[in-house]
Amino acid sequence: MNTSITHSLSVVAAVGALAVLGLAGTGPAGAAARPATAAKPPHPVTAYVANSGGNRVTAINTVTNKAGTGIKVGAAPGQIAITPNGKTAYILTGGSVVPIDTATNTALKPIKDTGGPGYIAITPNGKTAYVSYCCYNQSSDKLTPIRTATNTALKPITWKPGTVYGASPIVITPNGKTAYVASTAGTVTPVNLTTSKVGKPITFGKVAEDGNAYIAITPNGKTVYVAESSPYQPGDTVTPISTATNKAGKAIKVGESPVAIAITPNGKTAYVASTGSGPGG
Amino acid sequence: MTPISTATNKVGKAIKLGPTASSVRVAITPNSKTAYVLYDYYVAQTSHSYLIPVRTASNTVLAPVKAGSYLNSIAITPNGKTAYVTSDRYGSQGQVYRGYVIPVSTTTNKAGTAIKVGSDPGAIAITP
């Protein structure tokens, strides 16, 4: 059972990231709002699934629900992010980032030296992917930019305090100017993506031993919601951070052990899901 | 699950989902109408996994969709019609690892035929 639980924790905060990626990629109304006259996409909408226990990614045609043969990407594929134009899927694996050409479903040359990856987020203009790191006992946090035009890694951006446990989820403001990186150090670090300068970490909690951090941003980019939980200090709050001031607001009480934050595409409601027996249940 | 108004940061009434969970994920349809909660919990060391639709207008829980076991992650298509969930083992296959992706229609909230993928499927992402 332990393996199973650890495994689910390792992929857990995908939620927030996924929701935000969806927004960045499709705009608040999503493809549903696409006018009937719009050109058809060059290939069917495809779901990419990482076989975290193997070394492949499976592409599923969402029209036919047929799975292709696995695309070999390297050991332990984890998080996946897709560029807003849908042309490239980036897969985090142990030690590298593997781009997949979505037109042909072939793996391109791995981008090396991005090891121990945690999360990935792509700027709304699709030009840069940012990869955060994992895991235990990192002395500093690190964000590696990848230029998507050439699939090359740029100079990593580092700071302290860094990830203490787990991986650090990333959100990017809809204007593409700032990334917020949450960490189990109980901090959120703003990074100016124009200058690659790191802002002062914003403290929202204590060190969450063996825990995970979760983050989401409203579609208007005004508020970041962040939470953390660990088996020892389950936690029962989520903290709003104003992106205008980079100041943490008053912590909001939620159910015990928050493990997912998702914000409706219309920006009205943030849902915080908890595993515990608290009021959130 | 707790709804928070982003305008006021005030908490709405907590939405009861089930017993203490082993993992929870959330994805919301592009039209903001439904939040799908992937809820996985153990009873007698057996994983019980449900996809729970929550109507966001009223924060009411609709009938849970039974969708495999050991659910991992969820993604919704850009047209909002299908939610895909990854499942480590399907049905009651004991210790045999069988990776599936289960499509769930967001119109009928019914699970479609499970799609076999490699073992231990984790993250899922869908092109725009």
Residues 173-212 of A with CB under 8 A from B: none
Pick the residue from chain B with its C-alpha nearest to A218: B6
Q: Do A280 and B2 touch (CB under 8 A)?
A: yes
**Closest in B28, B30, B117 to A26, CB measured:** B30
**Does residue A231 sit at the B interface (CB-CB below 8 Å)?**
no
Q: Which residues of A fall within a CB distance of 8 Å from B110?
A: none
Q: Do A80 and B70 touch (CB under 8 A)?
A: no
Test mutation, A80, A269, A277, chain B, max B CBs within 10 A: A269
Q: Using CA atoms, how far apart are residues A89 and A106, in angstroms rounded to an integer?
A: 10
Per-residue pLDDT of chain A (281 residues; tens, 9 = 90+): 333 333 333 333 333 333 333 333 333 333 334 444 445 555 689 999 998 878 999 999 999 999 998 999 988 899 999 999 999 999 998 878 999 999 999 999 999 866 567 899 999 999 999 998 876 555 467 889 999 999 999 999 988 766 667 788 999 999 999 999 998 889 999 999 999 999 999 999 998 888 889 999 999 999 999 999 988 888 899 999 999 999 999 999 999 999 999 999 999 999 999 998 533 33
For A52-55, the CB contacts below 8 A with 24+ separation are A52/A7, A52/A10, A52/A11, A52/A76, A52/A77, A52/A78, A52/B120, A52/B121, A52/B122, A52/B123, A53/B97, A53/B99, A53/B118, A53/B119, A53/B120, A54/B118, A54/B119, A54/B120, A55/A93
Q: List the one residue out of A4, A63, A8 whose CA is nearest residue A275.
A: A8
**Closest in A60, A275, A277 to B24, CB measured:** A275
Q: Which residues of A fall within a CB distance of 8 Å from B16?
A: 281
Q: Which residues of B fall within a CB distance of 8 Å from A279?
A: 2, 14
Q: What are the CA-CA distances from residue A101 to residues A83, A87, A91 (Å)? A: 11, 6, 11
What tokens appear for B53 in the block?
């639709």
**Does residue A271 sit at the B interface (CB-CB below 8 Å)?**
yes
Give the pLDDT of residue B96: 55
Test mutation, B15, B26, B52, chain A, max A CBs within 10 A: B26
Higher-pLDDT residue of B28 and A93 is B28
Q: Using CA atoms, how far apart are residues A67 and A53, in angstroms rounded to an integer?
A: 18
Backbone dihedral angles phi then psi of residue A183, each to the nearest 5 degrees? -140, 155
A278 within 8 A of B15, measured Cβ to Cβ: no
Q: List the one residue out of A32, A281, A16 whose CA is nearest residue A168.
A: A16
CA distance A46 to chain B (A): 6
Q: Which residues of B fall within a CB distance of 8 Å from A70?
A: 117-118
Tell me: the pLDDT tens digits for B73-126? 999 999 999 999 998 764 455 555 678 999 999 999 999 999 999 878 889 999
**Closest in B3, B35, B73 to A14, CB measured:** B73
CA distance B31 to chain A (A): 6
**Does residue A80 sit at the B interface (CB-CB below 8 Å)?**
yes
Q: Using CA atoms, how far apart are residues B124 and A260, in angstroms rounded to an integer?
A: 16
ipTM of predicted assembly, 2 dp: 0.92
**Does residue B22 sit at the A interface (CB-CB below 8 Å)?**
yes
> For A246-255, B6-15, B36-45, which range has the lowest pLDDT when averaged over its residues?
B36-45
Q: Do A21 and B125 touch (CB under 8 A)?
A: yes
**Does residue A102 sit at the B interface (CB-CB below 8 Å)?**
yes
Q: Do A270 and B4 touch (CB under 8 A)?
A: yes
The percentage of residues in chain B with a pLDDT greater than 90, rounded to a whole number, is 66
Q: Which residues of A fall within a CB distance of 8 Å from B84?
A: 47, 49, 60, 62
Domain A2-26+45-274: which topology?
A: Methylamine Dehydrogenase; Chain H (2.130.10)
What tokens appear for A225 in the block?
């919601």
Name residues whose C-beta falls within 8 Å of residue A176's C-beta, 6 or more positions apart in sequence. Answer: A123, A124, A125, A193
